[in-house]
C-alpha cells in the first residue's frame, strides 16, 4: 500500500485525551446535533460540505467516514486513509495479542503506538489494507444477535443478497464464521476507501429505509468485517494490527447500574447485552483481558 501521505480519522464526541499528531486527524462526530463545547474548540467537525452529521445518532462514527469520503480534499487527499476512535488505536507493531490497554492520562500515546513515519511506511508497504487483529467468537452472527437486534443483521444480509450479490458469499461466510473484527477500524488506500464507502453507505441507506426504528446502526461494524472478507476473497493481502484501548479504569458500581438501566429503557441493545456493563464490572480484569486479547490468527499468519 502506498502511504506517502496517510490520514487516520480519529473520531471524538466528547472531551478525551487529544491525539492530534500526524498522521491522526481528530474529527468530531455529529457536530450538527451535539451540545459539546470542547470538541469545536480543538478539532474539525463532520458538518461541513456534503455530510450526514445530523444522522450521527443513527450512523455513529460512520458520519465521519461519510464526511471524509465526500470532502476528501478537506483531509488533504491522502494516498491512504484510516479510521480509529478516541479510545481505540492501532499499534503499529506485530504482537502476540489482539488487544492491549493503557491509561488515558498517558502523555506519549504515539510512542505507545510505535507510530513513527518510518515504521508506518515499512509496515503498510507490505500489505493492501489494514484491519484489527481478529478475535474468536461462537460466530459473528450469534455474537451480534446477543449484543444488539438481530433484525438489522438479517435485513443487511438480505439487502446484500438482493442489491450487491457479488458480496453475498463473503457476507454469508463472515456471518457464519468465528473470526470476528471488532472496533470498526481500518486503513485503506484511497481507491479501496472510495469503493468501501460506495458499498457500505449504499447498504446502510437501503437498510435504514426498511427499518421501523431510529436507533444506532451497530451493524456497520459487521459490514466492515464483510468488506474485509470480500477483499481477502479477491486476493488482497491484509495486515492485522493489535488495538490499544485508552482506559480511565473500572467504572464505579453506581455508574454501572445507571448504564444498565439506560440500556434497558432505550431498548437499543439485546436484553442480555443490556447487562454487559455489570458483567464486565464483576468479572476479574485478568479474565476479561484473556478474552479480549485472544487472537484468531494462526502463528505466522500475519508475517
- Tell me the per-residue pLDDT of 44-57, one tens digit each, with 9 for 90 and over: 999 999 999 999 99
Choices 2.40.160, 3.90.1070, 1.10.287, 3.90.550: CATH for 6-246: 3.90.550
Q: Look up residue 42 and give its three cell numbers.
A: 480543538
Where would I find the beta strands (DSSP E) of 13-87?
A: 24-28, 44-45, 80-85
Residue with cell 492520562: 105
Low-confidence ranges of the chain (pLDDT < 50): 299-300, 302-303
pLDDT at 143: 87
Does the CA dihedral 25-29-31-32 come out positive or negative?
A: positive
24, 141, 181 from 243: Cα distances, Å: 15, 22, 11
pLDDT at 292: 67
On whether the CB atoms of residues 223 and 200 are closer than 8 A, the answer is yes
Query: pTM of the predicted model, to two decimals?
Result: 0.88
d(CA 193, CA 218): 20
pLDDT at 299: 46
- Tell me the per-residue pLDDT of 175-227, one tens digit each, with 9 for 90 and over: 999 999 999 999 999 999 999 999 999 999 999 999 887 788 999 999 999 99
Instruction: Name the DSSP class of 295.
Output: B
Buried/exposed code over 77-91 (b: 16+ C-beta within 10 A; e: otherwise) = ebbbbbbbbbbbbbb
8, 147, 206 from 158: Cα distances, Å: 32, 20, 10
Query: Domain ranges in the chain?
Result: 6-246, 252-293
Amino acid at each position: 500500500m502506498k502511504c506517502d501521505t496517510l490520514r487516520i480519522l480519529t473520531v471524538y464526541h466528547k472531551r478525551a485525551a487529544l491525539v492530534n499528531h500526524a498522521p491522526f486527524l481528530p474529527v468530531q462526530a455529529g457536530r450538527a446535533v451535539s451540545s459539546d463545547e470542547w470538541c469545536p474548540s480543538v478539532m474539525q467537525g463532520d458538518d461541513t460540505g456534503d455530510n450526514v452529521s445530523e444522522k450521527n445518532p443513527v450512523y455513529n462514527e460512520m458520519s465521519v467516514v461519510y464526511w471524509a469520503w465526500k470532502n476528501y480534499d478537506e483531509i488533504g487527499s491522502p494516498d491512504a486513509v484510516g479510521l480509529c476512535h478516541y479510545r481505540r488505536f492501532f499499534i503499529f507493531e506485530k504482537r502476540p495479542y489482539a488487544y492491549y490497554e493503557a491509561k488515558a492520562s498517558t502523555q506519549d500515546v504515539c510512542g505507545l503506538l510505535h507510530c513513527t513515519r518510518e515504521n508506518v511506511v515499512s509496515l503498510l508497504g507490505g500489505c493492501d489494507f489494514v484491519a484489527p487483529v481478529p478475535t474468536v467468537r461462537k460466530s459473528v452472527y450469534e455474537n451480534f444477535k446477543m449484543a444488539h437486534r438481530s433484525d438489522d443483521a438479517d435485513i443487511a444480509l438480505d439487502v446484500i443478497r438482493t442489491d450487491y450479490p457479488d458480496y453475498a458469499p463473503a457476507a454469508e461466510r463472515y456471518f457464519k464464521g468465528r473470526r470476528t473484527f471488532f472496533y470498526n477500524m481500518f486503513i485503506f488506500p484511497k481507491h479501496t476507501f472510495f469503493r468501501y464507502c460506495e458499498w457500505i453507505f449504499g447498504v446502510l441507506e437501503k437498510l435504514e429505509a426498511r427499518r421501523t426504528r431510529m436507533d444506532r446502526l451497530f451493524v456497520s461494524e459487521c459490514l466492515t468485517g464483510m468488506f474485509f472478507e470480500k477483499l481477502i476473497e479477491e486476493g488482497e493481502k491484509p495486515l492485522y494490527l493489535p488495538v490499544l484501548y485508552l482506559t480511565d479504569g473500572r467504572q464505579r458500581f453506581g455508574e454501572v447500574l445507571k448504564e444498565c438501566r439506560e440500556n434497558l429503557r432505550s431498548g437499543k441493545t439485546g436484553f442480555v447485552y443490556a447487562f454487559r456493563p455489570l458483567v464486565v464490572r464483576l468479572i476479574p480484569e485478568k479474565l476479561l483481558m484473556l478474552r479480549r486479547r485472544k487472537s484468531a490468527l494462526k502463528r505466522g499468519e500475519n508475517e
